[in-house]
Amino acid sequence: EAQVTQNPRYLITVTGKKLTVTCSQNMNHEYMSWYRQDPGLGLRQIYYSMNVEVTDKGDVPEGYKVSRKEKRNFPLILESPSPNQTSLYFCASSFRTSGTVYNEQFFGPGTRLTVL
Amino acid sequence: AQSVAQPEDQVNVAEGNPLTVKCTYSVSGNPYLFWYVQYPNRGLQFLLKYITGDNLVKGSYGFEAEFNKSQTSFHLKKPSALVSDSALYFCAVRAPPDRGSTLGRLYFGRGTQLTVWP
């Protein structure tokens, strides 16, 4: 089954304790992205990756890191989490058709993170 | 700057009536436009998109949307609403690969909660 998986689905942690949220897709998509969803703010893009070893900042990259060493994986790293990073996080992937046209995104189920 | 606006936080409609969820955008050049739906405790699901071609696009579950370049709008519509359509709807825009835009950036609206009552 074609899908985007995220782990963990729920996480409660404390301020300053490094954590990683994994994201994996099995569709051979070039493009992957991370978003956070907060009430009243919709989805905001954190980081995205156009291909292996190619990453760039989105709207709200502060406090986050990413890496893209393999095409299927795109982990999100919080080196020193703070309470304002409490949110619902989504990973997504997308494919490219002709030229530079990127199509719709496939979303993971989400990771609900609470930082105390 | 690229942006998307969904002017209504909530839309309420009776089952069987037509529904419209509004979206306007601001982007340089011709945009790529998308609608997604989110059911409670679920990730987002793709509904439909406009890349190029016909201004009226049809998508999943009987939804359609019309691209209006002069009004910079991409409203989501359905002729007859179902209770099961109740969900959170997001409009999104990706800037085109020209004029120095960053192709990888995707901008979402704040979402519109659609409630269809029986």
Instruction: Tell me the pLDDT band of B52, cut-offs 50, 70 and 90.
Output: confident
Instruction: Tell me the pLDDT band of B12, cut-offs 50, 70 and 90.
Output: very high
Question: What pLDDT is recorded for position A34?
Answer: 97
Q: What is the 3-state secondary structure (H, E, C) of B40-51?
A: CCCCEEEEEEEC
Chain A positions in Cβ-Cβ contact with residue B42 (cut-off 8 Å): 109-110
Instruction: Tell me the pLDDT band of B97, cut-offs 50, 70 and 90.
Output: low
> Given an 8 Å threshold on Cβ–Cβ distance, is A56 in contact with B104?
yes
Backbone dihedral angles phi then psi of residue A51, each to the nearest 5 degrees: -175, 180
Task: Looking at the complex, report in whole angstroms how far the Cα of residue A58 sits from the nearest Cα belonging to chain B.
Answer: 6
3-state DSSP assignment of residue B84: helix
Question: What pLDDT is recorded for position B95?
Answer: 72
Task: Looking at the complex, report in whole angstroms how far the Cα of residue B91 sits from the nearest Cα belonging to chain A.
Answer: 10
Give, for A112, the enclosing helix (H) or strand (E): strand A111-115
Instruction: Tell me the pLDDT band of A111, cut-offs 50, 70 and 90.
Output: very high
Average pLDDT of the segment spanning A69-74:
97
Classify residue A1 as exposed, middle or buried by CB count within 10 Å of its CB (0-12, 13-18, 19+). Answer: exposed
Question: What pLDDT is recorded for position B51?
Answer: 86
Average pLDDT of the segment spanning A22-32:
95
Res A69 pLDDT > 80: yes
Question: What pLDDT is recorded for position B49?
Answer: 93
Lowest mean pLDDT among A26-30, A102-106, B88-92: A102-106
Average pLDDT of the segment spanning B9-37:
93
> Given an 8 Å threshold on Cβ–Cβ distance, is B106 in contact with A103?
no
Cα–Cα distance list, A114 to A10, A15, A60, A66, B117 (Å): 8, 10, 18, 19, 33
Res B113 pLDDT > 60: yes
Question: What pLDDT is recorded for position A101?
Answer: 66
For B24, half-sphere exposure in the C-beta direction (CA atoms, 13 angstrom radius) is 6
Tokens coding B60: 């999943």
- CA-based nearest residue in chain B for residue A98: B51
Average pLDDT of the segment spanning B31-46:
92
Average pLDDT of the segment spanning B26-52:
90
> Given an 8 Å threshold on Cβ–Cβ distance, is B44 in contact with A107?
yes
> Given an 8 Å threshold on Cβ–Cβ distance, is B32 in contact with A102?
yes
Question: What pLDDT is recorded for position A99?
Answer: 65
